[in-house]
Structure 1
Amino acid sequence: MKRFTLLILLFTAFSILAQDKFRTSTAIVNFEASVPLFEEIKAVNKLGTIVIETKTSEFVCVLFIKDFTFKLDLMKQHFNENYLESDRYPKAVFKGRITKFDVNEITDLEKEYQIKGKLYLHGKSKNIEVKAFMKKVSEGIQITSDFPIIISDFDIEVPYTIAGKIAKTVNTELTAVVECDGCDTKQIVVVDTN
């Protein structure tokens, strides 16, 4: 019986340590660049990829610019062709580290973390720090974050004639549930040593 219990404990310890990557390819990123009294400028991308390496606290988020959807096709066209030039710069990438992150401390109570890293957008990069809230949910770890993006930091040019209709700072919201990569494939193997 002692050997059986020891085997179960060893497996449990191994499975916790083996959970070194959490990921999703369905992160949702909303942005809004609306200005009062003018047409609403909003878009959503539901195909964001996030990877969290628990051993290093590394956080990576990748979005393809063309995956943003708008309520008007003409807005999407202008966004891709004139502002973000998505044929030339197809992705937005954020790479950073989660400060004081320990996957074993994540509970069903939301906890605030800081993520420091570099945002690559429109051929430019900028060091940024964002707040992220994380908690355990049945599917994995839920992450939410709100952060501003100043368009001039990334050399996104807005024609003078419409500059007053677009916010200089874009409000961005991220929501995702990252799942343990490979956790479902692990199986308990019980070996009777008697």
Structure 2
Amino acid sequence: MKRTALILLILMLGNTIFSQKMITRTGLVTFEASMPSFEEIAAKNNTASCILDKGTSDFVALVLIKGFQFKSPLMEEHFNENYMESSIYPKATFKGKVLNFDSKKLTTTKSVYDLEGDLTIHGVSTKIKTKINLNLASGKVVATSSFDVKPQDYKIEIPNLVKDKIAKNITINFNFSLVDQ
């Protein structure tokens, strides 16, 4: 009995010591789709999840669509029901890699890496290539990035009535503070 408990304890400690994954469940994802001289179309979601595997450089993020908050409740309703159809497509995901990443070289100074992977929104996946900033801050790895997407690439239909009021390229930003798992 003592031997089994000791083996279990060693396995659990080994898993914790050699764990390469960093995680957050309180990441911030924002998007901006405003056009000049029209109403602001922007939202934020501060409940995004992200995992960075320091050993494999895998980078995975998940955002629940209904978690996006707008200034206007009506705009939020239209976003969820008419455009994103969040009851059918409840989440957006990114699965990719940080290229040439070496966690041992991270410092408090931002380092820029290439980030490549598949972004899935509205049930449609597309390849994304962008830059990601990584740095250490208070024992955490901070990951930030910004990139543009086009609604039509994800089969998100914009009615003709409002087509000129929504940007053709929507800017997505994320900020994740990742801690060891």
Normalising by structure 1, report the TM-score. Answer: 0.84
Amino acid paired to 1:71: K
Per the alignment, residue 158 of structure 2 pairs with 158
Structure 2: give runs of 5+ residues left out of the alignment: 1-13
Per the alignment, residue 173 of structure 2 pairs with 173
SS class of match (1:160): coil
Displacement after TM superposition at 1:62 (Å): 0.2
Amino acid paired to 1:164: D
Answering whether residue 50 of structure 2 is matched by residue 44 of structure 1, we say no
Displacement after TM superposition at 1:17 (Å): 6.5
Per the alignment, residue 97 of structure 1 pairs with 97
Please identify the structure whose Cα radius of gyration is greater: 1
Per the alignment, residue 59 of structure 2 pairs with 59
Find the aligned partners of 2:102 and 2:114 in 1 and give their Cα distance.
Answer: 13
Per the alignment, residue 83 of structure 1 pairs with 83
SS class of match (2:117): strand
Per the alignment, residue 106 of structure 1 pairs with 106
Displacement after TM superposition at 1:168 (Å): 1.2
Find the aligned partners of 2:55 and 2:81 in 1 and give their Cα distance.
Answer: 40
SS class of match (1:141): strand
SS class of match (2:162): helix
Find the aligned partners of 2:169 and 2:111 in 1 and give their Cα distance.
Answer: 26
Find the aligned partners of 1:25 and 1:123 in 2 and give their Cα distance.
Answer: 22
Structure 1: give runs of 5+ residues left out of the alignment: 1-13, 182-194
Equivalences for 1:96-135 in 2 at 5 Å? 96-135=96-135
Tell me how many residue pairs correspond in the alignment.
Answer: 168
Amino acid paired to 2:162: I
Q: Which segments of structure 1 move beyond 3 Å, counting only runs of 4 or more?
A: 14-17
Normalising by structure 2, report the TM-score. Answer: 0.90
Displacement after TM superposition at 1:149 (Å): 1.1
Displacement after TM superposition at 1:139 (Å): 3.5
State whether residues 139 and 177 of structure 1, in contact with CA within 8 Å, keep that contact through their aligned partners in structure 2: no
State whether residues 59 and 95 of structure 1, in contact with CA within 8 Å, keep that contact through their aligned partners in structure 2: yes
Superposed CA offset, 1:108-152 (max 9, x none): 111001111000110101001121101011141011101101111
CA RMSD of aligned residues (A): 1.5
